[in-house]
């Protein structure tokens, strides 16, 4: 830490002429090491003062009043999984067109990225397309991870006899929403 300050300060002090050094403090000789030492101490004190001043005060979040939604029965939510929106209610199946590598069959997933929560008569849309996580709880269970049957597609180019076969066996992950409630 001190070596960084020494090199930067030495560059600054080496540009000074002897006349400028004498004019700043008459009858005393300035040694670059003493200057660097003073500089590093003052910079350490400044950083400590800045850290104490920058400690943020804890702010309480102001949560919206969702009593009309709590009193309504059937809720729906628009949640995003890998930036794909899904409109779900309690008991729905979600079929994902890819493999969730970190989840296994039987795992319980908790969703946090929800853009809208609503019912038949009321809807709450979050700020910046995101509802605060403290307002709701959405959980789903991984039912199965499978692959679709093999598909073979013939690919041909115009005016050519060659036919290429594209074989695909895409992954599927099936989830069931078990819990959708407001806190």
Ordered per-residue pLDDT tens for the chain, 183 residues: 444 444 333 333 444 444 444 454 455 444 444 444 444 444 445 455 556 566 566 677 788 888 889 898 899 999 999 999 999 999 999 999 999 999 999 999 999 999 999 999 999 998 888 999 999 999 999 999 999 999 999 999 999 999 999 999 999 999 999 999 998
- The pLDDT value recorded for residue 1 is 46
- The pLDDT value recorded for residue 136 is 94
**Angle CA 161–165–169, to nearest 5:** 170
Cβ proximity of 90 and 75 under 8 Å: yes
Alpha carbons 130 and 133: distance in angstroms, whole number: 9
**Strands in 92-135 per DSSP E:** 93-96, 108-111, 114-118, 123-125
- The pLDDT value recorded for residue 52 is 59
Closest alpha carbon to 112 in 92, 131, 94: 131
- The pLDDT value recorded for residue 54 is 61
- The pLDDT value recorded for residue 2 is 47
| Residue 41 structure tokens | 């101490």
Q: What are phi and psi for residue 98, nearest 5 degrees?
A: -155, 175
- The pLDDT value recorded for residue 183 is 87
Alpha carbons 59 and 62: distance in angstroms, whole number: 9
| Residue 159 structure tokens | 């005016």
Place of tokens 């029965």: 73
């Amino acid at each position: 830490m001190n070596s960084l300050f020494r090199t930067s300060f030495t560059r600054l002090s080496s540009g000074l002429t002897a006349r400028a050094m004498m004019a700043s403090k008459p009858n005393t000789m300035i040694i670059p090491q003493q200057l660097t030492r003073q500089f590093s101490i003052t910079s350490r004190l400044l950083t400590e003062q800045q850290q104490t001043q920058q400690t943020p005060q804890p702010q309480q979040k102001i949560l919206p009043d969702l009593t009309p939604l709590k009193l309504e029965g059937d809720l729906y939510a628009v949640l995003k999984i890998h930036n794909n929106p899904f409109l779900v209610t309690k008991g729905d199946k979600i079929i994902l067109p890819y493999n969730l590598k970190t989840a296994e069959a039987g795992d319980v997933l908790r969703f946090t990225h929800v853009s809208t929560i609503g019912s038949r008569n009321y809807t709450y849309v979050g700020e910046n397309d995101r509802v605060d996580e403290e307002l709701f709880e959405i959980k789903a269970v991984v039912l199965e991870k499978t692959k679709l049957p093999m598909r073979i597609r013939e690919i041909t180019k115009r005016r050519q006899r060659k036919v290429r076969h594209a074989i695909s066996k895409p992954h599927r992950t099936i989830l069931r929403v078990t819990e959708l409630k407001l806190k």
